[in-house]
Amino acid sequence: MKERPSPVPRKTDVVYASAGSGHYIKAVGPDGQSVTLEDGSVWEIDPRSRFFTVHWQPLEGITVRRIASDTARQSTGEPGFNYEIDNIDQDDGALARYSPP
């Protein structure tokens, strides 16, 4: 009997193991499209949240939390933005998708 290959995880299935507080911004991509944290994790930002992240600066404090997929889909209409990264220095947040290396 031929073995079936294991399914390849979708981007929406990727789990970030270091959720919580204590993070800070290392870099913000052009037009706020991405945010890189001190641990090297890269976050693709939901297009509707980029008006926040475009103004974020290195060394600002960040908290990362996972949100329910249904909530993310209702907010963006697009699957995969299943984390919220909150800038505690500017008191705002953005829906994000973890993009592992």
- Report if residue 70 sits inside a domain: yes
Mean pLDDT of 5-19: 66
The pLDDT confidence band at residue 88, using thresholds 50, 70 and 90, is very high
Is 50 a residue whose pLDDT tops 60? yes
- Report if residue 50 sits inside a domain: yes
**Full-model pTM:** 0.79
Residue 53: enclosing H or E segment and its boundaries? Answer: helix 50-53
Please indicate whether residue 33 or residue 10 has the higher confidence score (pLDDT): 33
Is 61 a residue whose pLDDT tops 60? yes
CB 75 within 8 A of CB 69: no
Q: Output the pLDDT for position 56.
A: 97
84 lies in which domain range?
A: 14-98
Structural domains counted in the chain: 1
- Rounded Cα gap, residues 13 and 66, in angstroms: 12
DSSP states of 62-81: EEEEE--HHHHHHHHSSTT-
Q: Output the pLDDT for position 9.
A: 44
- Report if residue 6 sits inside a domain: no
33: Cβ–Cβ under 8 A, 6 or more apart, which residues?
44, 45, 50, 53
Q: Output the pLDDT for position 101.
A: 73
